[in-house]
Amino acid sequence: MTANTASKNKEKAVGKSRATNARPGADNVHGVTLVEAINLALRRALSDDPDVVVLGEDIGINGGVFRATLGLREAFGYKRVIDTPLAEALIAGISVGMASQGMRPVAEIQFMGFINATVEQMLCHAGRLRNRTRGRLSCPMVLRAPFGGGIHAPEHHSESTEAMFAHMPGLRVVIPSSPTRAYGLLLSAIRNPDPVVFLEPKRIYRMVRQQVVDDGQGLPLDTCFTLREGTDLTLVSWGAMVHETLLAAKQLEEIGVAAEVIDVATISPLDMDTIRRSVEKTGRCVVIQEAPRSFGVGSEISARIAEEALLYLRAPVQRVAGYDTPMPYPGNESLYMPSVADIVDAATATLENA
């Protein structure tokens, strides 16, 4: 473990890319799924920075429960790709310790339902370290976890509790929705000087394949991505629900509605400027989330629109969400998950209100 020096953390604090100068070419362009893009980014981070380590349950020999870390142990050895005991609190705690000493741990939690054991470490230590030490130490760690439903998993495997971490000061919460954004956002999260909770929508781990250039370039954190331009309505979502949202926008186009689609990507801190500018243009907004309806990120976005763009609204903001219940067992999972039809119905109702 490298020395505990504030100067070392400060050197990294600007979050500058350590990317190589590699240029796109046949050797570094990969047609990959989202989970393969995660693997690609981890491999790149381990290659570029000797302070990066990866740890978690079964992530070494087995390559992780979803194979996100497949082959990394063979490439980088057991001292940098570390199998841990079945103890999530330990994984988070040792990551805080490593990060405070100048390393850059990337910890994996197998499912969102098991992440609750890390809350003590993330809330009371990771998120507070910079403030507690008056800037002398930072905590450049990433806590990765697959989240959300849609794969017919048992209880405690399909939660969407992203709002819980978004509510914790000092933590950055990032959620990719495609292979390209997974690669770029994870690299930026690893290089970030403060702790990042990186939530991976496992329902789309292998849904689509994209060409990803493995050039070490990160994507900006704290920035929404506008995936589709429109003038009649703003649709805001993140994670796996971005796919249903894009399908809904396509259906709306068939009836003459031009919907703008925004992928939030970093839910905390929230890029409200992009959302507000879109709502000022369209006058209408529907927020789509898989998480329970109440007290969530969708509620925060709706409140901020009311505070900052009320006079531009031509209709009340609508939310399409899961239910305020635990995620049901697999047989009823489809009844819980928001559908394309739900989004189209909410959009149509919003347009009729104008």
Q: Which residues are catalytic?
A: 157
Q: What are the φ/ψ torsions at residue 106 (nearest 5 degrees)?
A: -120, 105
Cα 84 to Cα 56: distance, rounded to the nearest angstrom: 5
Cα 322 to Cα 337: distance, rounded to the nearest angstrom: 6
Angle at which helices 241-254 and 340-353 cross, to 10°: 50
Alpha-carbon distances, residue 232 vs 54, 147, 284, 347, 352 (angstroms): 45, 32, 7, 10, 12
Encoded amino acid at 125, one letter: H
- In the structure encoding, which two tokens stand for residue 41, read together? 């980014």
Quote the Cα angle for 13-16-19, to 5°: 140
The contacts of residue 279 (CB under 8 Å, 6+ apart) are 234, 285, 305, 309, 312, 313
- In the structure encoding, which two tokens stand for residue 295, read together? 């007290």
Q: Are 46 and 52 in contact (CB under 8 A)?
A: yes
Cα 182 to Cα 262: distance, rounded to the nearest angstrom: 16
The contacts of residue 135 (CB under 8 Å, 6+ apart) are none
Alpha helices (runs of H) in 14-87, residue ranges in sequence order = 34-48, 72-76
Provide the β-strand partners of residue 266.
174
Number of C-alpha atoms within 13 angstroms, CB side, residue 187? 28
3-state secondary structure of 187: helix
Residue whose pair of structure tokens reads 């850059």 in the numeric block: 104
Q: Are 285 and 315 in contact (CB under 8 A)?
A: no
Cα 96 to Cα 138: distance, rounded to the nearest angstrom: 10
Q: Which of 176, 179, 221 is nearest to 29 (CA)?
A: 179
